[in-house]
Structure 1
Amino acid sequence: MTISLDRETGSVTSNVTVTKLGGRIGARIDGVRLGADLGDATVASIRAALLEHKVIFFRGQTHLDDEGQIAFAEQLGQLTTAHPTVNTGSARVLSLAANKGMAANSWHTDVTFVDRVPAISVLRGVAIPAYGGTTNWANTVTAYETLPDSLKALVENLWAVHTNDYDYAATAERGDAVNYDKDNVFKRQEFTRIPFQTEHPVVRVHPETGERALVLGHFVKNFVGLNTAESHALFQLLQNRVTKLENTIRWTWSQGDVAVWDNRATQHYAVADFDEQYREVRRITVAGDVPVSIDGEHSRVIQGDASAFSRLDELIS
């Protein structure tokens, strides 16, 4: 079912409105009470808005609990388990709770260290601090589209190794340190208990829109064929293109807000600026496919089996 949405504000359904929030990324959807059995037309409207705007926001969904969030996410596709390595006590729900700092306070695309990169993330605000704790998203499609031709020629044949097991502190040299200490969401030991390494094309073709997007973020260890110094320089150059302010949107959370983003076309960054206030958000993940390069090559597993996290045969069936 195809539903066309006005690029600025509208939807073809009478009760759903889509308001564009940024020139390159972001929209707010009103007129929807999230949960189970939304109906085909409403789900199609939501999905169309997501593909168009990359991240969409729903205010005031305070009625949602974990089960309702799961029921909503299931209408967008097959779900993954909560995380490939981290256990927060639920099969489907990843609780991200902190009162100082966050493991996600650097630019990343979720779980790119596995071959089957998640398609969609659904994040619900459970406990929101009085100030701080905002989240930023960047559009990796427009980041690619606005590259000069010389850089496009370089990245279209480039591959990168993504992993969950390397010296994250070294990313301080690349601009964003990820510190796994006692105040952070995850402990490094748990996050890396199952080592994963995957080679992804730096430019992937989106399986639904056909758009080309950059696949980067803090899980990149190095570029294939380049040494450490070369990888560092090129990573910084490309990441700066992704996170240019004009290419981003920043969301100030209220309790009950829900953010849904296309993980195949975005990066995000949770800002750790809420001092020692308690902050908790909960994420449900919709399974995705294995990225494909513009030459039709699929991402390649170097280490680790992600079948327990997301089964590719369930996507096909």
Structure 2
Amino acid sequence: MADLLIKKPVSELIDVIPLAGRIGAQINGVELSSHLNPEVLNQIRQSLLEHKVIFFRNQEHLTDQEQEKFAELLGQPISHPTVPVAEGSTYIFELDSRHDGRADVWHTDVTFVSNYPKISILRAVTTPHRGGDTTWANTEAAYDELPEPLKLLANQLRAIHTNDFDYGGFRPSASDEVVKRHQKIFASTVYEAEHPLVRVHPETGKRTLILGQFFKRFVGLTAKESNKLFEIFQDRITKPENTIRWTWKDGDVAIWDNRATQHLAVNDYGNALRIMRRVTLAGDVPVDIDGKASRQIKPSTS
């Protein structure tokens, strides 16, 4: 009798629910692990490319080690260039609100290196009862919607990104101790990379914008000129139509295409405990529309 049972097609085991008009989808019916069916994994990859960020509820079974093993199915995990990994892990970057782990400025992960991560996988360990959402923005949609004069300008611009930024300027309420900790750990080695403002996505061929918190200035322009142009393009990226906001529960997992998004953790939960653990995957060196690649400036590659 068992031989007569018809298996449900793999495609029907994954329920992909788009969440907003331009970005984001929730995937149901999948238990993330290092043993995923190849067809399920392929659908996850395709959903990620289409929706830019995808969400999974009820993944409490994941440990740090299993999160890292699952990540290996999507690429090569890498550790943060300056911040030590979480205790007992190989690659995990921990965001702990007790140690000022509040990424509450729009950014793309680690753009101060020339080959910044292609994908980030974030797991919610402990979430506040209220607040602590994360918002993502679609940098592909932002480019597509630029008026032609701004597209022509964007296509020509290149920018310097660095981890040695004015932390107190971004977080004026931060204590001296927190600012010193940032300099001692996050900026312990100064990184600078030059990227095109417009990169060509290596898998989709679409054009996306590279900006965010680690931006320093545009090549060939003054700081004042750079800041004015930054605001024009950054505002286009983060306009509400391009965004999705996710309310976390313990055990949730978000996976985003770091080549086509920015994100921001909403800092509205006071002294509540919020612990998140992230694995990033090695990325390629971006190229602009003419094929010119990004380059590392600091540390010197010579």
Q: Is contact 1:118-1:285 (8 Å) kept?
A: yes
Query: Could you tell me which residue of structure 2 aligns to residue 312 of structure 1?
Result: none
Query: Could you tell me which residue of structure 2 aligns to residue 110 of structure 1?
Result: 109
Deviation at 1:99, TM superposition (A): 3.8
Asked if 1:84 corresponds to 2:78, the answer is no
Query: Could you tell me which residue of structure 1 aligns to residue 123 of structure 2?
Result: 124
Distance 1:182 1:37 in 2: 44
1:145-192, Cα deviation, whole Å (9 max, x unpaired): 0000000000101000000013233457xxxx69576569x6332000
**Greater percentage in helix:** 2
State the TM-score, normalized to the length of structure 2.
0.91
Query: Could you tell me which residue of structure 1 aligns to residue 55 of structure 2?
Result: 57
Match of 2:42 among 41, 44, 54: 44
C-alpha spacing 1:205/1:12, structure 2 compared with 1 (3 Å): farther
Q: Is contact 2:102-2:267 (8 Å) kept?
A: no
Distance 1:75 1:226 in 2: 42
Query: Could you tell me which residue of structure 1 aligns to residue 298 of structure 2?
Result: 303
Query: Could you tell me which residue of structure 1 aligns to residue 276 of structure 2?
Result: 281
Letter in 2 for 1:64: L
Match of 2:249 among 239, 249, 254: 254
Deviation at 1:27, TM superposition (A): 0.1
**How many residue pairs get matched?**
290
Distance 2:208 2:173 in 1: 24
C-alpha spacing 1:179/1:216, structure 2 compared with 1 (3 Å): farther
Query: Could you tell me which residue of structure 1 aligns to residue 187 of structure 2?
Result: 192
C-alpha spacing 1:225/1:183, structure 2 compared with 1 (3 Å): closer
Deviation at 1:301, TM superposition (A): 1.2
Query: Could you tell me which residue of structure 2 aligns to residue 168 of structure 1?
Result: 167
For structure 2, list consecutive stretches of 5 or more residues without a partner in the other structure.
1-8
Structure index of larger Rg: 2
State the TM-score, normalized to the length of structure 1.
0.87
Q: Is contact 2:105-2:170 (8 Å) kept?
A: no
Deviation at 1:233, TM superposition (A): 0.6
Q: Is contact 1:101-1:273 (8 Å) kept?
A: no
Asked if 1:97 corresponds to 2:92, the answer is no
Distance 1:200 1:122 in 2: 23
The share of aligned pairs that are identical, in percent, is 52
Q: Is contact 1:104-1:178 (8 Å) kept?
A: no
Query: Could you tell me which residue of structure 1 aligns to residue 198 of structure 2?
Result: 203
Moved more, 202-211 or 187-196: 187-196
C-alpha spacing 1:78/1:101, structure 2 compared with 1 (3 Å): closer
Distance 2:253 2:211 in 1: 25
C-alpha spacing 1:94/1:152, structure 2 compared with 1 (3 Å): same
Query: Could you tell me which residue of structure 2 aligns to residue 3 of structure 1?
Result: none
Q: CA-atom RMSD, angstroms?
A: 1.9
Asked if 1:25 corresponds to 2:23, the answer is yes
